[in-house]
Chain A
């Protein structure tokens, strides 16, 4: 186990370093990087001064070393718009995104796991067909469209909920439902196939043959064994929540990390973009690492098999 943990940690550290390199590289995609770092109302003669000030006249290797050195210490420079530490802005928005993500994950587990279990146990019945159609629909419906339609129905038409913003519980409802819809569909499909796999196993036949009630067969023998793939894949999917939040937060004016990223992109506030994208990537990598370690701990076969 110790070797497995060490190798995973080293791998994650390498991915973090390479991801930061990728963020540095991405900013070079558009040609002259200074154009990305200019305030909107800049005079042409000041461009060179800013280029000098930001160090874009230095050799690329020097710039890279400076960026990596800063990034590893959490310094991505100052926001061009707010004149404040870029990473500080990102961290300030984190609680809002975490609240949204946690609510969505809770909703997903409450809806998706029972739905997946039910459709698997009642395979090829009406429940299964209706449930499966719902899953496919949930996966195909774009979140931002679902968001608009919910706003129209519940905020404009019925006036039950506010259109956006944050602070009250009512404002949390629609964004978390939109974010949960897509993941529920995926997790439910996953649960269904995991439960179906387990139901085909010999030990389920044994459990039934020795006269256990269906409740115990499903509740104890099936669900426990199906839990490993469900938890793993749900963990991996949770990382995608960070991507989904980009759009959901924008529609509902939710003041989280995703909305900050979109606004920074729109304002061409690139120090904030780099801080937010790097931060998201690191969180995502750490989540994958946690899932891998949990998986290795739950299932000894994984740690032995070398990647």
Chain B
């Protein structure tokens, strides 16, 4: 008997060949996620563009994790509140001295700069909010917001998509029409509205914007997963499970979802950049986080008041701008490589 595998280039291990059995040695990765998905993951690590993206993501994640060391908060319970140095509306340039309410100096700071007093490393915005603190803790906000929104939208999308595809018929019809209605809205405008509705009820902070982006953000995952469930549903092992009397819920959760959810999860994680940009956009427009919350879009919104003198106060645009672009660029680099790896028509053509 010959065990055939999906991959024609599978290595033939001579020891196993004694009885004419050809086997391919498979690693942990392949055993866990399956051959197709393992090929995708390996492809991602071979592609220099995606590796560059992953390095930047790792760097930003490190900044987010080390935020309390890089920028020790004054009050650890309100770590996301940017410390402010006075109340003057005039932004001050990078490296200007810290006059009032100086936070603790972290241990690396004197060694690296030779100073014992904090300075505003990246200047201050109007209202003397420290830009450096905003950037460092803003990285945490970005990851936090991205992960929460992706988690929630994936849960909604997966529920809608899998139920719709599994039961089919009129349930499918109704759920897909609902999905289309949500897609008929201009996304940003709808999120803006919902945020404006929720702000007086949930208060300003990340949650109004998170809910708004979740409510209007799940549709693409529902559609993607629906397609995959429709194809997995036809497989023999699903029929086998039904024959032995497994309940619908068990079939859906234990048999169909594990075999169809991977592409949705991957695409969802690649949306991190876009989601964080949209969140920052809501903050920029003024319905996201409150003034003084460590959030990149929030710092950038200070620039709206200073447009004629932006060249003088470049640091309130450039630093948070660079942080946002780096963040979304890194996810897009990975996502772009992923699209090449996943696109079957490009397989074996060297990609790019």
Q: Tell me, yes or no, whether A binds B.
A: no
Interface residues of A (CB under 8 A from B): none
